[in-house]
């Protein structure tokens, strides 16, 4: 017997004609996407493009017009301790807002996606919040909620959001071209540990170590 599998996630409206930003893993392999707004209106959505390397996707709501987009803020202006709000649909119970602070910035090497520069927050983020908005107290979008670190599968105080300054050019490329094309330097790099700096007689651990060069790169 053929079974239909359904999934839930969240998204952010960024244009009056219904362009929505969400996570790639929310719509990955979906044959049909439907978006329900806070006022209960429902729209079928077309996937304009996805970028698995950053876990972002852009949708277009069919027939939508006159929507109120969320203003996009400058994530670089965030400071540790700033209050932020996470908006989404946790566990499918309905639109929910939680409050927390910016716990850290520039989180990488988490092992979630290829390109990581996460905002870490202790605002409650749970399954279903993926793709939802992280906003500052001015009501501006500063991040797209994307993942949690949890041993139980639920909120444990460590959530990650993709900063708007990382998402902005990716979203633009997905809207216009349906894909993201990135440059490639052709070198392999690694962080400089204290042990590595001592072995190489480096004066500090800043920067990166070029460990390999790709032939022709």
Active site members: 25, 55, 130
216: alpha, beta or left, given left = phi > 0 and alpha = psi -120 to 50? left
Nearest residue to 142 (alpha-carbon basis) of 116, 118, 112, 115: 118
Q: Are 202 and 193 in contact (CB under 8 A)?
A: no
Quote the strand ranges of the chain, DSSP E. Answer: 12-13, 19-22, 33-36, 42-51, 56-61, 83-88, 96-107, 118-121, 133-135, 141-148, 159-163, 187-191, 208-213
The two three-digit tokens of residue 145, written as one number:
């909620």
């Amino acid at each position: 017997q053929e079974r239909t599998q359904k999934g839930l996630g969240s998204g952010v409206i960024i244009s009056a004609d219904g362009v929505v930003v969400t996570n790639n893993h929310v719509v990955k392999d979906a044959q049909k996407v439907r978006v329900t707004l806070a006022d209960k209106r429902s729209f079928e959505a077309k996937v304009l493009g996805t970028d698995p390397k950053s876990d972002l996707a852009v949708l277009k709501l069919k027939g939508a017009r006159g929507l109120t987009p969320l203003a996009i803020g400058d994530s670089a202006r965030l400071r540790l301790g700033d209050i932020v709000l996470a908006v989404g649909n946790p566990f499918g119970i309905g639109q929910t807002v939680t409050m927390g602070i910016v716990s850290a910035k520039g989180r990488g090497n988490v092992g979630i996606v290829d390109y990581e520069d996460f905002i870490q927050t202790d605002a409650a983020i749970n399954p279903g919040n993926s793709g939802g908005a992280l906003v500052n107290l001015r009501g501006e979008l500063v991040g797209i909620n994307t993942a949690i670190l949890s041993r139980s599968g639920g909120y444990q105080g460590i959530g990650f959001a993709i900063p708007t300054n990382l998402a902005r050019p990716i979203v633009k490329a997905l809207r216009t071209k349906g894909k993201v094309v990135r440059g490639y330097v052709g070198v392999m790099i690694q962080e400089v540990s204290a042990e590595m700096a001592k072995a190489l007689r480096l004066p500090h651990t800043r920067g990166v170590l070029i460990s390999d060069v790709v032939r022709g790169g």
